[in-house]
Amino acid sequence: MFWIGRGAAVISRQMAALLAMVAIYKEPIVDFDQVLKIGDDQVGIKVFDDTLTITPEGTYDWEGWRDNFEFTPTSHPVFGPCHHEFLSAAQAIYQVVKQMRAELASVIGKPKIAIQGHSRGAALADGVASLFAVDGIRVDMLSLFEAPHLGMQQYADWCKKQRDAGLIHLEISTVNLLDPVVLVPPPPWTDSHPTFQLGELPGGLDDVNPIAYHMGPVIYRGILRHFPVSAS
């Protein structure tokens, strides 16, 4: 399904991609206000004006890839069956960022929330956004880049209800051609949100390497091709 969020974004789609696929991987293009270590995950935090941005880091080592492809489900009372590792990590992150939001609200009023991630970071961003929604807190912008599956159809149906209710504003959720990561875990696991086909080739010999279709620089390039930065 073709999907791009409608309505004003709280940060640009390009900035969300930059945070999720360049800055969080230790490239000094955007300086986060904080980079938190929560369990095994790093999470970049940056405040833009009245917007709290939350960026979980994607997979960067073989241990992380192993966890991504580990399909043991756990049951959540609202979401139904979920990927155990992704949900557990999202819950740990949520407890920290929920408190950060409350502290920020005491200074600037209730901040807007933008959450974005790539790869495993996208699955964690998906989970954190949903945990905010469970608590009745609106997520103003959710950007997912090549997310593996967090849940099954019960969870996807619940996510649709949150979008329809305005509690989660999905900006974009990409899938890119041969990328295998967006297909795991396999059915009955499924996409949490409608997806946008990026159609970005890695280039050269990498065109025959499925993993190359998943890599952050390729996806970031695809975002800039579809949504070029205005010269004005």
pLDDT band at 201 (very low <50, low <70, confident <90, very high): very high
Comparing 33-37, 156-160, 173-177, which segment has the lowest mean pLDDT?
A: 33-37
Q: What is the 3-state secondary structure (H, E, C) of 57-89?
A: CCCCCHHHHHHHCCCCEEEECCCEEEEHHHHHH
**CA distance to 41, 112, 114, 194, 217, per residue, from 51 (Å):** 22, 4, 7, 24, 25
Name which residue leads in pLDDT, 158 or 4.
158
pLDDT at 6 over 70: no
pLDDT beyond 90 at 147: yes
pLDDT band at 140 (very low <50, low <70, confident <90, very high): very high
List the domain boundaries for the chain.
13-226
- Whether the per-residue pLDDT at 5 is higher than 70: the answer is no
Domain range 13-226, CATH architecture: 3-Layer(aba) Sandwich (3.40)
pLDDT class for 151, splitting at 50, 70, 90?
A: very high
| pLDDT over 80 (residue 159) | yes
Structure-model confidence comparison of residues 132 and 1, the more confident one: 132
**Cβ atoms of 217 and 192 closer than 8 Å:** no
Q: Which residues pair with 80 in a beta bridge?
A: 76
What confidence tens digit (pLDDT) does each residue in 90-116 have? 999 999 999 999 999 999 899 999 999
Amino acid at 113: I
Count CB neighbours of 19 within 10 A. 27
What distances in angstroms separate CA 72 from CA 41, 88, 95, 176, one per listed residue? Answer: 19, 12, 23, 25
d(CA 21, CA 60): 12
Looking up tokens 């875990």 gives: 185
Average the pLDDT over 76-96 and give the result. 97
Tell me which of 78 and 62 has the higher pLDDT. 78
| Backbone φ and ψ of 47, nearest 5° | -105, 125
What is the percent of the chain with per-residue pLDDT over 70, rounded to a whole number? 88
Instruction: Identify the residue whose tokens are 């469970």.
Output: 134
The pTM of this model reads: 0.93
127 closest CA partner among 165, 166, 168: 168
The partner residues of 175 in beta bridges, in order of sequence, read 197
Residue of higher predicted confidence among 224 and 2: 224
Whether residue 3 has pLDDT greater than 60:
no
Nearest alpha-carbon partner for 35 in 48, 46, 27: 46
Element (H, E) at 145: strand 139-145
